């Protein structure tokens, strides 16, 4: 039993900083979600429209063949003005611990429905996205810092997704309100920065 003590001590030392970071993230997440929920509807709508304008003016967005996006939930920035454009979109559906991406466009016959956690998502029978045709990924977030590190909802869906080879190397833009673009977010060793951030104040790309 005595020989296990050094190993247990090392495991404990590794665990402590990870637990501290997760606690910091959880506290930050609660505060930011509370602020986002408290935003007056008119102000929220104005900020959402400005975010859509910022993206719509970006050449990478304009030329993208297929853009992965999302349906707004819990006062996330709403991308519906962009989703109204008759172009190729990919929308996510939660399946277990993964996101399954389905093709969608405004005049298609593939329905959207209320799915996991009450989030609007594609019907499972609709066609899936060809990753090779995806040129841009718009990533929902609770917050992003100026380095591109993202604070998500704690489920790890996008963290897992972006480790898969067929999604790596594609531009990833975190979509948040300006008050949630922070100087620094606590990060774990496995966290990877996004390519940029879009808020109502502008599009901020990594150097």
The beta-strand segments (E) located in 12-126 are 66-68, 88-95, 98-104, 112-114, 120-122
Query: Mind listing the domains of the chain with CATH numbers?
Result: 12-205 (3.40.50.10420)
pLDDT tens digits, one per residue of 30-39: 999 999 999 9
Q: Structure tokens of 62?
A: 């304009």
- In 10 A of CB 160, how many CB atoms? 12
Q: What is the pLDDT of residue 2?
A: 44
Q: Structure tokens of 134?
A: 């995806």
202 sits in which H/E element: strand 202-205
Instruction: List, for the chain, all residue ranges whose pLDDT scores fall below the cut of 50.
Output: 1-15
Secondary structure (DSSP) of 130-199 = -GGGEEEEEEE-SEEETTS-EE--SS-HHHHHTTSTTTTTS-EEEE--GGGEES-----TT----SEEEE
Q: What is the pLDDT of residue 17?
A: 64
Using CA atoms, how far apart are residues 50 and 52, in angstroms rounded to an integer?
Answer: 5
Angle at 61 between CA 68 and CA 85, to 5 degrees: 75
Q: Cα torsion for 113, 118, 120, 125, to the nearest 10°?
A: -40
pLDDT tens digits, one per residue of 165-197: 999 989 999 999 999 999 999 988 878 899 999
Using CA atoms, how far apart are residues 194 and 91, in angstroms rounded to an integer?
Answer: 19
Q: What is the pLDDT of residue 65?
A: 94
Q: What is the pLDDT of residue 58?
A: 97
Q: What is the pLDDT of residue 16?
A: 55
Residues 6+ apart with CB under 8 A from 65: 88, 133, 134, 135
CB 85 within 8 A of CB 111: no
- In 10 A of CB 66, how many CB atoms? 21
Place of tokens 């810092």: 145
Q: What is the pLDDT of residue 118?
A: 84
> Is the pTM here over 0.85, yes or no?
yes
Compute CA distances 206 → 26, 159, 167, whole Å: 26, 18, 18
């Amino acid at each position: 039993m005595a020989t296990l003590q050094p190993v247990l001590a090392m495991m404990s030392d590794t665990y402590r900083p990870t637990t501290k970071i997760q606690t910091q993230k959880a506290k930050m997440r609660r505060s930011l979600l509370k602020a986002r929920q408290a935003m007056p509807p008119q102000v929220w709508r104005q900020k959402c429209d400005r975010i859509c304008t910022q993206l719509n003016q970006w050449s990478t967005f304009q030329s993208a063949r297929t853009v992965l996006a999302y349906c707004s939930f819990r006062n996330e920035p709403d991308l519906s003005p962009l989703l109204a454009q008759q172009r190729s979109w990919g929308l996510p559906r939660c399946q277990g611990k993964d996101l399954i991406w389905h093709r969608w466009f405004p005049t298609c016959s593939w329905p959207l429905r209320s799915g996991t956690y009450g989030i609007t998502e594609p019907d499972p029978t609709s066609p899936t996205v060809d990753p090779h045709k995806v040129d841009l990924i718009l990533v929902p977030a609770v917050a992003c810092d100026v380095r591109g590190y993202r604070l998500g909802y704690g489920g790890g869906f996008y963290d897992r997704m972006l480790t898969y080879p067929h999604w790596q190397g594609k531009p990833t833009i975190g979509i948040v309100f300006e008050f949630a673009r922070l100087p620094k977010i606590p990060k774990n060793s496995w966290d990877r920065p996004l390519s940029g951030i879009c808020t109502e104040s502008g599009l901020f790309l990594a150097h």
